[in-house]
Every structure is written in structure tokens, then in C-alpha cells.
Amino acid sequence: MISNVVDLASSEDEEHENQTKRKKRTNNTETPVTESPLQSNSNHSLEFRSFWKAGAYDVGSTKSIHEQGQLEHARVHPKFLHSNATSHKWAFGAIAELLDNAVDEVCKGATFVKLDRISNPKDHNPALLFQDNGGGMDPEGLRQCMSLGYSMKAANTIGQYGNGFKTSTMRLGADVIVFTRKSQGSRATQSIGLLSYTFLRKTGQDDVIVPMIDFEISGDRTQPIMYSSLDDWSNNLRNILEWSPFTSDQELLQQFEDIGPHGTKIIVYNLWLNDDGLLELDFDHDEEDIRLRDEVNRDKSLKKRDRLLESHISYQIRFSLRAYVSILYLRKFKDFNIILRGKPVLQHHIVDDLKYLEQITYRPQLGKASKEVTVRAEIGFIKEAPHLRVSGFNIYHKNRLIRPFWKLINDHTSYGSGVVGVLEANFIEPAHDKQDFERSTLFLRLEMRLKQMCNDFWKSHCHLIGNYTVVNQQKKLSIRPFDENAANLQRELSADQPVIGLSANMQQGLHLDQPVVGLAANVQSLSNGNTVLGEPSNMSRNMSSVQPSSGLSAGVNKDVSVDTSGSSLVDQICEENIQLFMRCEEHRQKEIGLKQTIEDLERELEEMKRKCSQLSSHLESQRKLKTISQQNGKGR
């Protein structure tokens, strides 16, 4: 697909169009002022600096594909580089791909990957640098890196599709230059490759052409490797110099000085801008981090600030690269560091934050032909539970985080709130952006099983943390089946009888807004004046004299009396409570589905109406034409 022969036929039309656009922008007083103002660059118009708009340029006439003696081959239009990169909705997902490539080099001796903001020497705009001291690439390796679908990686590496480098670099910026050096036995080489969307677009290419040059290193001498002719070599070099951040051969070669005997340096430049013309990545807010500007701003509009949530990793990973990278790999590296803007990223184990931790074994049904696999899920409550409503499973694949905090239980209830899990699922395949999994049967089964794990964990542990919000949900639901049980219970509870199985909150007084679950939830609603039991005042009086008791709650006073006669009733009520929440959940899902169907039908109806009116106007004009032609016929 890729050749390193460059046809420099520039598209004059497009250059003219760009000049016009540049003029327009100069006159436009609403041009946004960037926080990190981008240096003007005569080669680029801002219209093409926003990733989501960058694929919309006109394709000029294509060159003849059939040259004599040449075998036909499918070509890849430069636009495909862009559309391929749209698989990364999230810029951090793209950054993760480039870190993965460096992590995959650990087996070849890599001890670090550094990621930094540098300044493009040509226009002084920010650029992204990724540098590792892994095995590096030889000339053939670099060609594969720049091509689509080549991956020679072993089975235990993160990389497998041969696509990550292309999607990620093109998602972060319009252009990327790679410097790589490899030593293999007595042979050492270094290579430079340029994948430039700007170059391809501006020179009207209809195939992906990648200028590359290679050198052989022997001792202190560095010799160019020529494959065909000197002209060819010079053309490649000229294109690299014209479209890269570097203006001379010396500047290019200097880039190898800090690479060492082997390693790779990747510079992504002409970074994409957001809709406001600001860099998508924010380097200014925190000089030790890279933040996603729009994600941060999105939260500024939140009505009520929730400091506890804002400090939680599940929230921070949305906009802080340092936070995201801290949980990106499941196992801690022994001799490898990810250095973000000069400071190593501390790896963070989500499991370390969990309380009441449990391990659950899961055996996916892989089919008869496959070896049996056993995986271990770890599940617990976040330490901030029940005050923080964060939940979900973190699913890793071959050590790499694919789905962070995947919510398996609906958001809108407190049911399942605070339950967080971690699982490494190597038996399912990640999607190409490595932010989700392919929806295979195995995946769907896993999803069901994880839901069940969360449910079971919640059922058996929710009393340990109490539960604030079930109360509110309960009030909203005002569920009848509870009435009977609660009424029975009220009858059973006498002023001096000990109670078992209630939440720890019970002992603190049911009239308070304390977290309660199951039975306690019903009782709470009584004290709030709801008419479930009909005798709220008696109930609170009774409850106020209830002895603190144990059973379900771990947080309860130890020296309490236990009455086992009440436990089955409490369990039963808890179970019913849970079943009702599950049903509620099902109904909510159904409601979402129905709403979707209504929307689809409405859209269809609109479409039909549109077609109908088109047809009737067409019919009308046909009728008119017919009348005119009839009149003309009569006139003659």
C-alpha cells in the first residue's frame, strides 16, 4: 500500500482555496483567541486543524492507476487515514496506543517511555513527543509501522492489529515524524519516516505516500541506504524537510542524539484543535500533566460541585492523562517507567482502594476446542462508599485497561452503588480502539455474569456500608408488597425486644436521615410520615427503644443481643426489596427501549411525510405540465 516514492504534483486549486480561506479568517473578528496561541503557519488553515472536520476536503482527479508492468494493488486514499483515526473518539485512547507500543518493547529492554510537550521548531506550536528506549525499528520495521495491518507481535503483547500507530497519531495531530534506531548483531540502522496528512492533502495525493530515509551506522559513520537512486533518496529527504518540523539534514540527524543505541522517538505535530480553535490537549493548566480541555470544561457547567467525586480516580481519568495512565496497566512494572512531562507516573491499583474485598472465580465457556480458562474477579466497595456513588467493573485485557468503571447496574438507583471490580479478561477481544470489547457471545455472557456478581455482592454486603439513597428511591416507589411485611414486623417488634438483622443505622435512630437498606428503608419511610404502615408515631417510639443488634451489619456494636426469630423475616424483606429494585431496573430498561422505538418511529414518520410531500409536489408539477401540454395541443 505504501511506497516511499513521492509525486509532488501540488494542487494549485487547493492552495488557492486555502489562501482565500486564510484571507477570510484574517478579516474575521471572531477568530478565537487561544489559551496557547498557535503560531500562524502559512501552510495550514484553521479549518483543517479540527480533527472532526479534517476529513472533509475535496478529492481532486485521481491519477491513472495502471502503469505498465505494474501489478494492480488496492490503494489507500489519504482520507482513509482520517476516517480510520475516527475510531478513537477520545484523544487519551490514542495516547494509550502509543504508550502500549512502548510497553510492548519492555521485552526488548525498554526501561522508559517519556511523553512530553515540545515546541515545533518551525512554527513554535506545541507538539507531542513520545520517546522510548525499546528495541527500535529497522528500515523494514518502520515501513510496517507506517503501513496498515502489519503486526508481528507475540501473543502476550498489547498490540495485535497493526493499526494503533496510524489511528492514534492521526487522531492526535495531522502529522507525525518517527526517528528510530535499531542494533541487531553487528548491524545498526536508523530511519526517519514521515506520515503527513498535511503533505498528502496539500499535494493532492490519492495514495498514502510516506517519505522515508534510512541510514546504516558503522562506528561513527552514518551512511545513507539507497534502494534505487540518489534522486529518490533526495526526493524523500526534500519532502521530509519541507513537511516536517525540521529544516536541515543536521537538525534531522540531531534527533538521534538522545535516542541511544536503540529506541524510537515519535513527534506528533499540527495537533488538532477543538471547535473553539483551541488545542484539544491542554498543556498549560498543569505543567506535569496533559488535560483534555473539553472534558474539563464540560464539568464546569455542572450545577452542583461534588468535591468527593471530583477527587476520585474514576472522574479524573476523563480529563487528566496522569490519572488515566496511572490505572492504564494492571500490574505494576518492575523496571519500566512512564514519564509524563518529566515526572514518572505512579501506578495505581484500583483494588487497593476497595474495602470488603472478595475474589470470585469465573470460568468462561470457551468451547470444546479451547483450553479451559479460569479468571479471578476482585470486587469490593470503594472506600468512600456509601458517600460516593461510583461503581463499575474495570476490565483489563493483557494487562491494559479497556473499560474503566463499566457500569453494570443502572445509575439512577443507589442499588449497587459503590460496588467496584477489577478483572483481566484475556479471553475476549478488544475493539480496534481498545476502549471497548467486541460484542461476542463470550462478551455478553461475561456482562451477564458481572452484573450478577455486582448484584450478589451488593445483596450480601450492602448492610456493611448502610445505604442512603435506597430510602429516597423507596419513597418514590412506595411499594405495596412491603406494607404487609413491615406491618407484620411492627407487630412483632415490641418496645423491649431486641431486633436483629437491621442495618447499623437503625441503632442511631430511625427518624434521622441515615442510610438504611431493606427493612430499614421501609421503617425510615414510616418515620418520614409516609403512610405505608399507618402508625408512624408508634413505630418510631418502638424503634427508639430498640436495642442495637447484629446479624447483617458488621459495623454494629459487638455486645448486642441476638434474636434469630426475626432474621428470616428481615432477610425476606431484604430479598423482596432487592427483587423489586431489579424489577424496577428492568422496567427502566424497557422504558428506555420503548422511548428509542418511539423516536425511531417518529423519525420514520417524518421521513414518510417528507417523501409524501415530495411525491405530491412532483405529481402536482406533472399535472401542471400535462395541462399545459394539453392546452398547447388544443391551441395548435
Ligand X SMILES: Nc1ncnc2c1ncn2[C@@H]1O[C@H](COP(=O)(O)OP(=O)(O)OP(=O)(O)O)[C@@H](O)[C@H]1O
Where along the sequence are the contacts to Mg ion (CB under 5 A)?
Answer: 101, 159, 164
CB of 113 to Mg ion, least distance (A): 12
CB 492 within 8 Å of CB 566: yes
CB of 103 to ligand X, least distance (A): 9
If DSSP states are collapsed to H, E and C, what string results for 357-412? EEEEEECCCCCCCCCCCCEEEEEEEECCCCCCCCCEEEEEECCEEEEEEECCCCCC
Q: Between residues 151 and 485, which has the closer beta carbon with respect to ligand X?
A: 151
Select from 109, 162, 224, 498 the one that contacts ligand X (CB under 6 A): 162
Q: Is the peptide bond before 364 cis (omega within 30 degrees of 0)?
A: no
Q: In the stretch 204-243, what mask flags binding to ligand X with x, by CB under 6 A?
A: ----------------------------------------
Q: Between residues 45 and 87, which has the closer beta carbon with respect to ligand X?
A: 87
Using a 10 angstrom Cβ sphere, with 0-12 exposed, 13-18 middle and 19 or more buried, the burial of residue 161 is: middle
In angstroms, the CA 437 to CA 428 distance is 7
Q: Which of the choices Mg ion, ligand X, none does residue 163 contact, using the CB cut-off of 5 to 8 A by kind?
A: ligand X
* Closest by Cα among 309, 334, 330, 339 to 404: 330
Residues 69-128 that bind ligand X (CB under 6 A): 97, 100-102, 105
Residues 136-155 that bind ligand X (CB under 6 A): 136-137, 141, 144-145, 151-153
Q: Which of the choices Mg ion, ligand X, none does residue 424 contact, using the CB cut-off of 5 to 8 A by kind?
A: none
Q: Which of the choices Mg ion, ligand X, none does residue 105 contact, using the CB cut-off of 5 to 8 A by kind?
A: ligand X
> 132: helix, coil or strand?
strand
Q: Between residues 101 and 133, which has the closer beta carbon with respect to Mg ion?
A: 101
| Residue 540 interacts with ligand X (CB under 6 A): yes or no | no
Beta bridge mates, 115 = 130, 340
In angstroms, the CA 188 to CA 254 distance is 17
In angstroms, the CA 307 to CA 514 distance is 21
CB of 283 to ligand X, least distance (A): 22
CB of 212 to ligand X, least distance (A): 13
Select from 6-14, 164-172, 565-573, 591-599 the region that touches ligand X (CB under 6 A).
164-172
Position with the least CB separation from Mg ion: 164
Q: Between residues 101 and 198, which has the closer beta carbon with respect to Mg ion?
A: 101
Crossing angle between the packed helical segments 91-103 and 164-172, to the nearest 10 degrees: 140
CB of 194 to ligand X, least distance (A): 15
CA 294 remoteness from chain centre: 14
Cα dihedral 399, 403, 408, 410 in deg (nearest 10): 150
Q: Between residues 165 and 415, which has the closer beta carbon with respect to Mg ion?
A: 165
Q: Which amino acid is at 202?
A: K
Q: Between residues 364 and 430, which has the closer beta carbon with respect to Mg ion?
A: 430
CB of 392 to ligand X, least distance (A): 24
Q: Which of the choices Mg ion, ligand X, none does residue 290 contact, using the CB cut-off of 5 to 8 A by kind?
A: none
In angstroms, the CA 339 to CA 127 distance is 16
Q: Between residues 321 and 499, which has the closer beta carbon with respect to ligand X?
A: 321
Name the pairing type of β-strands 400-406 and 419-424.
Answer: unpaired
Residues that bind ligand X (CB under 6 A): 97, 100-102, 105, 132, 134-137, 141, 144-145, 151-153, 159-166, 264
